[in-house]
Amino acid sequence: MRIAIPVTKGKLSAHFGHCKKFFLVDADPESKMIMTTKTLTPPAHEPGVLPRWLHEQGAEIIIAGGMGQRAQQLFSEQLITVVTGAPCEDPDKIVQWYLSGDLRTGANVCDH
């Protein structure tokens, strides 16, 4: 499975559309292990661009702090599962928590 996490200054970005990079993780859900990671610079943020781009990168899941309803719909159309309300932590920790079922999410910090 490939997981995408928007990051700014090495931590999950509170709003995915304002991130400077995307941390992409290939993980094995059976063994709950991170296999490979890479960091990519996304294209300029415009409506609909990031969901398509992440789909092209093979992302199946995006874990974000906040994301508007329209963006969530666009990710869904690209068959990418959206997880919102994640804490602004190190992306490796977030993925490990997700894989182990221990990711605690709060409110979606985006309301548009």
Q: Containing domain of residue 7, as a range?
A: 2-100
Q: What is the pTM of this model?
A: 0.92
Burial-class residue 70 by CB neighbours within 10 Å (0-12, 13-18, 19+).
exposed
Is 49 a domain residue?
yes
- With respect to residue 57, please indicate whether it lies within any of the assigned structural domains: yes
Domain for residue 14, yes or no? yes
pLDDT digits (tens, 9 = 90+) for 57-101: 999 999 999 888 898 999 999 999 999 999 999 999 999 999 999
Residue 13 in any domain: the answer is yes
pLDDT for 18: 77
pLDDT over threshold 80, residue 110:
no
